[in-house]
Amino acid sequence: MTPIICTVDAALLTLRDEGLSVALLKREHEPYKGVAALPGGYIHADEDLCAGDAALRVLKKKTGIDVPYLEQLATFSGPARDPRGWSVSIAYYALVPYEIIARAAHPGVQLAGVDRLHTLPFDHRAIVETALERLRGKSQYSSLPCHLAGEVFTLPQLQKVYEALMGEPLNKVSFRRKMQEMDAIEAIAGEMEPASAHRPAQLYRLKQEFRAQLRLLKRGL
């Protein structure tokens, strides 16, 4: 009896001007050697303390990035998804502000717009779709999108992030009321865009205690 193959895969998502994008890497080994795919790899039973650690290790090794937000997505499994045999992939998604990718990503990391994805090997397409569903769903009623907005951000910037994820414009007054009610971000003394010909916006950051845990709204946006 051949053992089951245990791997992790991660959809590393970021928001650029071109829209939401996912990080792809050319595979170094068979199967699908040379094909762009999600970063992934075997669980190392001798060093990983859980599958999430394996995902962090793989992401750091293959993309160069210490991802600030990682969440388990779902586990994909079956006899046919990997040509090597019956396999389990514990899939994660990571949210990373684009500024971190621009600064730290390995040269081989490609960003592909999620709305015009080429075919991906294995069931990586399904993993990306599931990640988008999760991200868009949780954006309706949580602080999750803050993780795409950068270390510090203004409310107009954050609103644009939410709008990009929800796919529709939001009311400015309502958005600000909701952000206040959510109580997940805090103003920083100091302002931004002093080089711009208009009133500068207040800077905010995600409160420390909500970097790992989400803050939920009683009623959505």
Distance of alpha carbon 60 from alpha carbon 54, whole angstroms: 10
Distance of alpha carbon 96 from alpha carbon 56, whole angstroms: 13
Stretch that binds DNA, among 85-93, 100-108, 197-205, 207-215 (CB under 7 A): 197-205
- The type of residue at 19 is G
Q: Which of 78, 85, 137, 156 binds DNA (CB under 7 A)?
A: 156
Q: Which of 174, 183, 212, 216 binds DNA (CB under 7 A)?
A: 174
Closest contact distance (angstroms) between CB of 167 and DNA is 14
Distances (CA, A) of 208 to 9, 162, 181, 184, 214: 27, 20, 17, 9, 11
In the beta sheet, which residues pair with residue 93?
11, 71
Residue tagged 């089951």 (tokens): 4
Q: Which of 29, 116, 118, 219 binds DNA (CB under 7 A)?
A: 219
Q: Does 201 bind DNA (CB under 7 A)?
A: yes
Distance of alpha carbon 210 from alpha carbon 98, whole angstroms: 20
Q: Does 199 bind DNA (CB under 7 A)?
A: yes
Distance of alpha carbon 11 from alpha carbon 93, whole angstroms: 5
Q: Does 154 bind DNA (CB under 7 A)?
A: yes
Q: Does 54 bind DNA (CB under 7 A)?
A: no
Closest contact distance (angstroms) between CB of 6 and a second copy is 4
Instruction: By CB under 8 A, name the binding residues for a second copy.
Output: 1-4, 6, 43, 45-46, 49-51, 72, 74-75, 77-79, 85-86, 88, 90, 141, 218-220
Nearer to DNA by Cβ, of 105 and 221: the residue is 221
26, 106 contact by CB (below 8 A): no
Q: Which two tokens stand for residue 124?
A: 């990586």
Contact positions vs DNA (CB under 7 A) = 154-156, 170-174, 176-178, 181, 191, 194-202, 219-221
